Amino acid sequence: MLSNGLSEDDLFSFLSSQKKEDIDYRYILSSMCTLPHPVAVKAHSLFMETNLGDPGLFPGTASLERLLVERLGTLFHHKDAGGYATSGGTESNIQALRLAKELRPSTCPNVVVPESAHFSFKKACDLLCLEIRNVPLGPDRRMHADTAAGFIDRNTICLVGVAGTTEYGMVDPIEDLSKIACEHDIFLHVDAAFGGMVIPFLERPIPFDFALPGVTTIAVDPHKMGMSTIPAGVLLTREPDMLDALNIDTPYLSVKREYTLAGTRPGAPVAGALAVLDYMGISGMKAVVAGCMKNTERLIAGMGTLGIEPAATPDVNVATFVCSSAPAPWRVSWTRNGHLRIVCMPHVQRDSIEAFLKDCGDMHA
Ligand code: 0PR
């Protein structure tokens, strides 16, 4: 600590100088986060001091969390879904597996996940002492139900499907996974952290949600394609009171039990997430997603013209290429297989795609 405080001018000139070192979102093609929608920023700033960890003190904010769960449950064909606002996909995935462990007790529990699953499942299994079984993907970069079935045994408590994989933007065949989850009477958790705010708004939505009877829980992140402020994730459960299985006593709070992982929880991004959904409506979200998908297609076509082949035909707005270098100042990412990866988020406008293509052309000329 400084012995005497700074003046406000000095403080903010320091903070601004540090912020200038951050990369301008215009050049960020590697991220699943995006610039928050202006209504999210406005709503966030209204709720800055709220703490959903003690909801009895903030009943108005707590009702926004219930509304967010209801909106997303309805979008995912189950208006009575349970759930709560998490800090993002990692927490939602941890809590989903924690639920499976609690409700499907086994002496030596294992979880069957696709090789494409986000690394948060590794964290979750480490924390919860679960064996993780990684299922190899098919040539289409999706996990097939018959392959997954070969990894399930009597100690399997949960099968995981991904709706919008982090690296290649693929949607696993959740309909088939739902069937085998029902046959084996195990949980099916769908990680739709990315795809949950894309797939329902596609011209031809792919089945992935509670309309499929085997789906037990869904993770969806408003702070990705939902354009909310960070951190905003949601874990949804088919049974409205399923989360009660995780309750612990909280004697001195305004509520006497809680099932959340975090204690103090920000209400601001919850207000931000709900604000975007209600401001955009289905039609607004369809327009955003259509724009992102169009940009993805344009990028793939443009790279093709340069002789750079796509590494996958994605279901959502993640484009990957067989290519080993990318021009500065663009920030791209690389998959574990060494493919160039670009996420066409809402902040990635058409002019950025064209500028990136031009720079790629100059570099490969
Ligand atoms: N599930 C899926 C399918 C994900 O893609 C991610 C994150 C998670 C779960 C975990 O979500 P949280 O990070 O919110 O806990 N996917 C991105 C990734 O790891 C997150 C990200 C976002 C990384 C922005 C970098 C970045 O700049 O690639």
Strand 318-321 and strand 340-343: pairing?
antiparallel
Q: 């950025």: which residue's tokens?
A: 352
Q: Determine whether the shortest distance from the Cβ of 33 to ligand 1 is under 6 A.
A: yes
Ligand 1 in reach of 295 Cβ (< 6 A):
no
Identify the pLDDT of residue 77.
98
Strands 110-114 and 248-249 turn out to be unpaired
Three-class DSSP category at 256: coil
pLDDT in tens, 192-228: 999 999 999 999 999 999 999 999 999 999 999 999 9
Domains of the chain, CATH where assigned: 23-36+281-364 (3.90.1150.10), 38-277 (3.40.640.10)
Residue 260 contacts by C-beta under 8 Å, 6 or more apart in sequence?
53, 84, 86, 95
Cα angle 231, 23, 307; round to 5: 105
Q: How many beta carbons lie within 10 A of that of residue 225, not counting itself? A: 29
Does 194 sit in the ligand 1 pocket, CB within 6 Å?
Answer: yes
Q: Residue 110 and residue 130: Cα distance in Å, rounded?
A: 5
The SS3 call for residue 266 is strand
Q: Is the distance from the beta carbon of residue 166 to the nearest atom of ligand 1 less than 6 Å?
A: yes
- Is residue 222 within 8 Å of 65, Cβ to Cβ? no
Cis ω for the linkage preceding 55 (within 30 of 0): no
Q: Which atom of ligand 1 is nearest to the CA of 223?
A: 14
pLDDT-derived band of residue 364, with 50, 70 and 90 as boundaries? confident
**Is the CB of 220 within 6 Å of ligand 1?**
no
Alpha-carbon span 226 to 85, nearest angstrom: 13
The residue-averaged pLDDT of 290-296 equals 98
Tokens of 330: 């663009």
Question: Residue 365: is its pLDDT beyond 90?
Answer: no
Q: Which atom of ligand 1 is found nearest the CA of 195?
A: 3
Centre of ligand 1 to C-alpha 66, Å, is 24
Residues forming a β-bridge with 313: none
Q: Which of 27, 29, 30, 32 to mutate to test the pocket of ligand 1 (most atoms within 8 A of CB)?
A: 32
User: Is residue 221 lining ligand 1, measured as CB closer than 6 Å?
Assistant: yes
pLDDT digits (tens, 9 = 90+) for 228-253: 999 999 999 999 999 999 999 999 99
Q: What is the mean pLDDT of residues 55-62?
A: 97
**Residue nearest (by alpha carbon) to ligand 1 atom 28:** 166
Beta strands 318-321 and 257-258: pairing type? unpaired
Residue range 70-96, pLDDT digits in tens: 999 999 999 999 999 999 999 999 999
Q: Measured over all CA atoms, what is the biggest interatomic distance in the chain, rounded to whole angstroms?
A: 68
- State both tokens at 224: 């990705």
The amino acid at residue 274 is L
Predicted pLDDT at 197: 98
Does the CB atom of residue 120 touch ligand 1 within 6 A?
Answer: yes
Q: For ligand 1, is residue 92 a contact (CB within 6 Å)?
A: no
Q: Is 92 helix (H, G, I), strand (E, B) or coil?
A: helix
> What gap in Å lies between CA 109 and CA 106, rounded to an integer?
5
Q: Are 152 and 190 in contact (CB under 8 A)?
A: no
Ligand 1 close to Cβ of residue 90 (< 6 A): yes
d(CA 362, CA 306): 10
3-state helix, strand, coil in the chain (%, to 5): 40, 15, 45
- The number of the ligand 1 atom at minimal distance from the alpha carbon of 162 is 3
Name which of 144, 132, 204 is nearest 179 in CA terms.
144
Pocket test for ligand 1, best of 166, 172, 320, 344 (most atoms within 8 A of CB): 166
Query: Phi/psi at 128 (nearest 5 deg)?
Result: -95, 5
Answer yes or no: is the C-beta of 34 below 6 A from any ligand 1 atom.
no
Atom of ligand 1 nearest to the CA of 164: 3
